[in-house]
Structure 1
Amino acid sequence: MNLRSLLVMGTVAVCAHQVQAKDLILGVSEGTSGGTDHARVLLKYGGLAKVLSGALKTNVNVVFVREFAQLEEGMETGRLDLALARPSDFPARGLRNYGYQYVATAKPDGQCFITIPKNSPIKSLAEIKGKKIVMPEKISYMTKFCAAELRNNGIDINKEAVTYVREQEAVSFYITNGFGQVGALASYSGAAKKWVKEGGQVLHKSVTQPFFPLIAEKSFDKAAIASMQRALLDLPNSAEGQAVLKSIGIEGFDTGSEAKLRQLLDWLGCKGGECVAAQK
């Protein structure tokens, strides 16, 4: 199913009156998060769409983009006027490949957590060489992220004994139950938050990288971009704005991370559409 079909089937307007003839589409991708459907996304991001509607003086409609292929197509064709998406390498490609413009990223930034069991004798990152490492599936953004961080610290995962699992919760399960000695988790994942809450060890925290970027199609003028940025930065200053942030599950928005987002693909080791850091 393409984006046009999604729009016909499920898009709803979140602003009551229309000022311009053309409604705008905000495509939302939550990556491979399970248990999400179109109705929940509309509820979760409806408040944000309303804020953007006010800033742009026109309706902004939310569309749930379930598949990465749809997200790529939506950016390539320009059908998505706005995209709020994770993993962050997709918006980064929107900037690099399809002429999209930076608007903001979510707070806090993302990190790779290198985890070890509570009783582990490992004391430094260098000591994970030769150990059994557990990571999310090989094609996942976080595995590319963690591979790049380890690469910059002298560890090539292609030369290590790595087990790839489908879900980040499985990483924690493997480490806790002795099927691996070292794990890799996204700092913003439920698995990482649970790991920390339950007293699990985080051996190493990576450099931070932009999380959940919001980008805008190339036809937006500078005034429109600035208006959206002002509205997003103002969210913590009102009860209504705080409710929007709580619904999304973030602390706020950052409008100063454009350079970092534009450098993300190079940091990951991405050439064209591929990220070679996690490939064998």
Structure 2
Amino acid sequence: MKTTILRALCAAVLLGASSSHALVFAINEGVTYRVPADEIRGKYAAIAADLSKLLRQPVQIEPIGDYPSLRQGLSDKAYDLAMVHPAHLSIEAIKKSGYKLVAVTKGFQGYAASFMVKADSPLKSLSDLKGLHLGAPDEDSITSWMVRATLRDALGDPKQVKYTYTRYQDAVPFFVENNLTNAGASASSAVVKDWQAKGGKVIGKSKAVPIKHVIASPNLAPDQVEQVRDYLLSLDGSEDGKKKLAPTKYQGFERYDEAAMLALGAWLGL
């Protein structure tokens, strides 16, 4: 009898430990923007608190600043939830690791790369870039994946262009201004707007790819995924929800067809 009671107590302790196990919500803000980890934790604190109550488990925000770590973590299913800025890594996780697309971030569905040249440049179209140098953000950034896919469509082979990569998007114009490259590519609306305001030209744009996806690990039950989706989609529908969105500076979240996302992945070359 004592043995039976002891086993029951051990089972209860284990069950309690399991139920309180923290779910990891990984956050990646991209590699081509400067965002401190503590700032990221603060942005999502209120949302994490709500998700903890909703899922009845602590939800721990884990900023992931570099893509190799993010890619490995997604491959290992180490993240129960993830906000993934680079669409190609999100799509890889859906395609290869069983993650589910929960939602995309409003205001980022039309993310597209613009190809910039100086005001007096003779270049007029993407086909004119053949054999020339192009400045672009980090080689593994979603922007550069979009750039290469666009140039593949325009030239038949993205290797027809020589690339000079830089960590940050706002460094790309420096290459063009100082004749280090013949053109530059950026998907930062602020960078492109500033370029055009100074008289610079845009000779082409890539196809739009939604970025900043929320994805869920196959470790989460389908009903948990739906709970998270319903919560995120409802945030911009109330004043309380808008206050919780305010630190993130996002308008809200919306559904996106997973098959359509995978089709964009095929275009990217995944």
TM bin, normalised by shorter chain, reads 0.7 to 0.9
Partners of 2:130 and 2:155 within 8 A in 1: no
Q: Secondary structure at the match of 1:153?
A: helix
Deviates more, 1:197-206 or 1:113-122: 197-206
Shift of 1:210: 2.2
Report the counterpart of residue 100 of structure 1 in structure 2: 99
**CA 1:232 to 1:194, structure 2 compared with 1: closer, same or farther past 3 Å?**
farther
Shift of 1:152: 1.5
1:100-249 to 2 correspondence within 5 Å? 100-107=99-106, 108-109=108-109, 110-187=111-188, 190-192=190-192, 194-196=194-196, 198=198, 200-249=200-249
**CA 1:68 to 1:160, structure 2 compared with 1: closer, same or farther past 3 Å?**
closer
After superposition, what is the alpha-carbon deviation per residue over 1:157-186, rounded to whole angstroms, capped at 9, x for unaligned? Answer: 312243333332221112223333321112
Unaligned residue ranges in structure 1 (runs of 5+): 1-19, 271-280
**CA 1:77 to 1:259, structure 2 compared with 1: closer, same or farther past 3 Å?**
same
Shift of 1:130: 4.2
After superposition, what is the alpha-carbon deviation per residue over 1:115-142, rounded to whole angstroms, capped at 9, x for unaligned? Answer: 1223334333333334432222434432
The whole-number CA distance in structure 1 between the counterparts of 2:258 and 2:102 is 8
Letter of the 1:141 counterpart: I
Confirm whether residue 43 of structure 1 aligns to residue 42 of structure 2: yes
Q: Secondary structure at the match of 2:139?
A: coil
Q: Secondary structure at the match of 1:84?
A: strand
Shift of 1:111: 1.2
Q: Percent identity?
A: 28
Confirm whether residue 65 of structure 1 aligns to residue 64 of structure 2: yes
Shift of 1:155: 5.0
Q: Secondary structure at the match of 1:209?
A: coil
Partners of 2:32 and 2:141 within 8 A in 1: no
Deviates more, 1:111-120 or 1:94-103: 111-120
Report the counterpart of residue 31 of structure 1 in structure 2: 30
Shift of 1:59: 2.6
Report the counterpart of residue 3 of structure 2 in structure 1: none
Shift of 1:87: 1.5
Partners of 1:105 and 1:254 within 8 A in 2: yes
Q: TM-score, normalised by structure 2?
A: 0.80
Partners of 1:210 and 1:260 within 8 A in 2: no
The whole-number CA distance in structure 1 between the counterparts of 2:213 and 2:87 is 6
Shift of 1:193: 5.1
Shift of 1:42: 0.8
Letter of the 1:125 counterpart: L
The whole-number CA distance in structure 1 between the counterparts of 2:248 and 2:199 is 26
RMSD (Å), alpha carbons: 2.7
The whole-number CA distance in structure 2 between the counterparts of 1:199 and 1:247 is 34
Q: TM-score, normalised by structure 1?
A: 0.78
Q: Which has the higher helix share?
A: 2
The whole-number CA distance in structure 1 between the counterparts of 2:80 and 2:227 is 15
Deviates more, 1:28-37 or 1:206-215: 28-37
Shift of 1:103: 0.5
The whole-number CA distance in structure 1 between the counterparts of 2:53 and 2:197 is 38
Letter of the 2:267 counterpart: W
Report the counterpart of residue 6 of structure 2 in structure 1: none
The whole-number CA distance in structure 2 between the counterparts of 1:69 and 1:123 is 36
Partners of 1:76 and 1:98 within 8 A in 2: yes
Shift of 1:104: 1.0
Shift of 1:30: 1.9
After superposition, what is the alpha-carbon deviation per residue over 1:42-89, rounded to whole angstroms, capped at 9, x for unaligned? Answer: 102213323433443433210112333332332233221111122222
Higher Rg of the two aligned structures = 2
Shift of 1:228: 1.7
